[in-house]
Amino acid sequence: MSGRLLVSVSSIFSETLRDVRKLLDTLDSEDIPVSLLVAPHIDGNWHLAKDRTMRKWLEHERDGGRLLILNGFDKAVQGRRAEFSTLDAHEARLRLKGATRQMASLGFETDIFAPPRWRMSAGTLEVLPEFDFRLAASSKGLHNLSDGSFYSARNLSYGEGFGAAKWWRRNIIRAAERGAAKGNSIRLSVSGRNLEQKKTMRDFVTAAKAARAAGAIPGDYRDFR
């Protein structure tokens, strides 16, 4: 039985939008869907509410069928602790309330959540159903919040705290290919910050194409709700 190929990109804001669009154009032409991990704030300086160009672009992508996934409240710069990695239920609830309210006020609502760097505390997982999320994605797999089931599928990332050195990129390509050949679902993600590096862009596309060639069926996270 073939697994799914789930591809996503994070850190999408004014400085990375051009390279993110290049990635989408490339993978769209290969019929490989790419989900967008979005947040209302990034680095404490960029605010979606103040970026009309980004909002219009996200609206266009969403209306065209692109999946948007909430990626935290204030996605921090690399090097800082991942936002939802250690929060207790109370703190997670406060941040999720802020994030969901702000995104809804801008016209962007989603029932899928993925914390920055995919690192999710038990407290965060506990309170997500309070905000009508149906699916949560962590580094280890996918949590169906409707029935409590868990689908094991670790995430393979370029950037997002995982690095993008040559040896790492090659390992990801091999892991994606091997996993797909075994019938596993393959989750690939990349930080928009790393896409300005042509080699990273090239190898990320190579990993996605290799997984598909080995048998993984392109889809998106809605397939697991």
135-137 vs 141-144, strand pairing mode: antiparallel
Q: What is the CATH number of the domain that holds 62?
A: 3.20.20.370
The 10s digit of each residue's pLDDT in 136-150 is: 999 999 999 999 999
pLDDT tops 70 at residue 79: no
- Phi-psi region for residue 195, left (φ > 0), alpha (ψ -120 to 50) or beta? alpha
Secondary structure (3-state) at 143: strand
The 10s digit of each residue's pLDDT in 192-214 is: 999 999 999 999 999 999 999 99
Rounded to an integer, what distance in angstroms lies between the CA atom of residue 39 and that of residue 209? 27
Rounded to an integer, what distance in angstroms lies between the CA atom of residue 184 and that of residue 206? 18
* pTM exceeding the 0.75 threshold for the entire prediction: yes
What is the domain range of residue 204?
Answer: 4-224
